[in-house]
Structure 1
Amino acid sequence: MMLNDKQAIVYGAAGPIGGAVAKAFAAEGATVHLAGRTAERLEKVADEIRAAGGKTEIAVVDALDERSVDDHAAAVGRIDISFNLIGHVQHFGTPLIDMSLADVEGPVRNMLRTFYLTSRAAARRMVEQGSGVILTFGGNGDPMANLGAFQAGFGAVEALRRSLACELGPHGIRVITLQTNGIPESNPDTYPEDFRREIAEQTAAQTMLNRAATLADVAAIATFAASDRAASITGTALNLTAGAVVN
């Protein structure tokens, strides 16, 4: 198995993407530490992992809180893989010049804060080990109108990811982004069905393959990126956009 005996933390593990990744990590032999704000939702993912024979632990962690993140990382001990899949509230549909400063800077601050805190907590242990993988999600594609600070937040995270990769590479630590053009499967069930269908069709239409990336796609690439099979890959984004973004 690709991740046998690895210790992985998945932040935002109760969400659809985090849950899919966590289950894939566990299926490949990792002990997966599920971190999030709601224990009940984390337990549902943990139950599925255990039912499939995987190893997992849950912890209520606020990824915006420095002490919460640091205390949890210390309790985990060895960390081989850290993946930040925290969701963030965004303000879509309004032109940037019509938004308040608070609505613009809030998402950027929160996205950067969670990635920094979770990455720092893992990296401090990975430096001692001389190895590790830090993953983030989303990437930064071509600009689109009326997405608020969504893309600015991803851009800030990408800048930090590049700097971390540069500084941590000499310690044997890899830092990688999984870049997508949206995962329609992950859209909330609270969205009207017609709206969910419209988003899925629009996302697929933007691609070369006439399909969006799926949860299974993300889980498979995340597992590969976290494994020794990707030992020479760092400081980059792995393109899962199905051709929506051309490198």
Structure 2
Amino acid sequence: MLLDGRTAVIHGGGGAIGGAVARVFAREGAWVFIVGRTQAKLDVVARDIAAAGGVVETARVDVLDQPAVEKHAAEVAAACGGIDIALNAVSVPHDQGTLLADLTLEEFMRPIDGFLRALFVTTKAVARHMGGERGGVVLTLSEPGSKLAVGGILGHSVSAAGKEAFARVLAAELAPRNIRVVGIRPHAVVDAPAAGSYTRELFGQIAAAAGESVQDMLDGGGMAQGTLLKRLPTLSEVAETAAFLASDRAGAMTGTIANLSAGALVD
């Protein structure tokens, strides 16, 4: 198994991507700690993992509550002797589709402050319990908006670029401590019913303006057709890639972004 004996902390572990990654990490032998604000969502993921024979624990923690996040990370490290893998999969609802003329400062700053604040708080909490001979891997999530030159995604684009810059600089800081940092850049996923209201709210306005449903927009609309593969990545592809990147098989990878955009971006 790729992650046998590893300890993994996933903030946002009750969401679509976080939950998918947690399930694969557990299947690959990791002791998984999933963290989030909504216990019911965490419980769904935990039941799936337990039913498959995996080891999982849940914690209801607000990732913007820095003392609470640090306390949880310290408790995990005390129980397991350290933390091997961390992923921040927290989602922040934000506007997409509004151009500068109609965009408020509050809406512009919402994803920038929310995503980057959560990433800073969670990464600082777990990184202090990583490294040395044990090593460690910090995984981050961004979006193609970090590089796309399209209108209506100002706040989203800046926050995505910020997350990627954070990962690159952090990789340089943590490398002397034997900690790798790798970003994952998926596009919107097509098989994510668990994403629920977040996906609908994020893309609903754009889909409505185009006269189509969110699912139609994702499956066969411009988002899929704008990729080289003419499709969007799946949750399974994102989760399996995360497991590989967290494993020793990717031991030479750090300070880079894994492009899972199905060719929406070509680096």
Give the TM-score of the pair, scaled to structure 1.
0.95
1:79 to 83, 93, 100: 83
Secondary structure of 1:237's aligned partner: strand
Structure 1 alignment gaps of length 5 or more: none
1:185 to 191, 194, 200: 191
Pairing 1:216-231 to 2, within 5 Å after superposition: 216-231=236-251
Instruction: State the AA in 2 paired with 1:198.
Output: M
The equivalent of 1:117 in structure 2 is 121
Query: Would the aligned equivalents of 1:91 and 1:148 in 2 still touch at CA under 8 Å?
Result: no
1:203 to 212, 215, 223: 223
Secondary structure of 1:125's aligned partner: coil
Q: Tell me whether 69-78 or 184-193 shows the greater mean CA deviation.
A: 184-193
The equivalent of 1:172 in structure 2 is 178
Q: Please state if 1:30 is matched with 2:30.
A: yes
Structure 1 residue 141 displacement after superposition:
2.6
Give the TM-score of the pair, scaled to structure 2.
0.88
Structure 1 residue 203 displacement after superposition:
2.2
Structure 1 residue 234 displacement after superposition:
0.3
Q: Tell me whether 237-246 or 50-59 shows the greater mean CA deviation.
A: 237-246
Pairing 1:1-247 to 2, within 5 Å after superposition: 1-77=1-77, 78-127=82-131, 131-139=135-143, 140-186=146-192, 188-190=195-197, 191=200, 194-201=213-220, 202-247=222-267
Instruction: State the AA in 1 paired with 2:54.
Output: G
Query: Would the aligned equivalents of 1:184 and 1:203 in 2 still touch at CA under 8 Å?
Result: no
Structure 2 alignment gaps of length 5 or more: 205-211
Instruction: State the AA in 1 paired with 2:179.
Output: I
Structure 1 residue 57 displacement after superposition:
0.2
The equivalent of 2:208 in structure 1 is none
Pick closer, same or farther for the CA change 1:129–1:111 going to 2, 3 Å: farther
Query: Would the aligned equivalents of 1:207 and 1:241 in 2 still touch at CA under 8 Å?
Result: yes
Summarize deviations over 1:59-106 as a string: whole Å, max 9, x none.
Answer: 011111111110110110111000000010111221123222121112
Summarize deviations over 1:154-199 as a string: whole Å, max 9, x none.
Answer: 1111111111000101111000111122213336445488222122
Q: Tell me whether 120-129 or 152-161 shows the greater mean CA deviation.
A: 120-129
Instruction: State the AA in 2 paired with 1:196.
Output: Q
> What RMSD over aligned residues (CA atoms) do the two structures have, in Å?
1.6
Q: State the alpha-carbon separation in 1 of the partners of residues 196 and 30 from structure 2.
A: 30
Query: Would the aligned equivalents of 1:130 and 1:173 in 2 still touch at CA under 8 Å?
Result: no
Q: Tell me whether 113-122 or 228-237 shows the greater mean CA deviation.
A: 113-122
Secondary structure of 2:131's aligned partner: helix
Secondary structure of 2:32's aligned partner: strand
Instruction: State the AA in 2 paired with 1:230.
Output: A
Query: Would the aligned equivalents of 1:63 and 1:117 in 2 still touch at CA under 8 Å?
Result: yes
Query: Would the aligned equivalents of 2:218 and 2:232 in 1 still touch at CA under 8 Å?
Result: no
Instruction: State the AA in 2 paired with 1:112.
Output: L
Structure 1 residue 128 displacement after superposition:
5.2
Instruction: State the AA in 1 paired with 2:137.
Output: V
Instruction: State the AA in 1 paired with 2:42.
Output: L
Q: State the alpha-carbon separation in 2 of the partners of residues 17 and 222 from structure 1.
A: 10
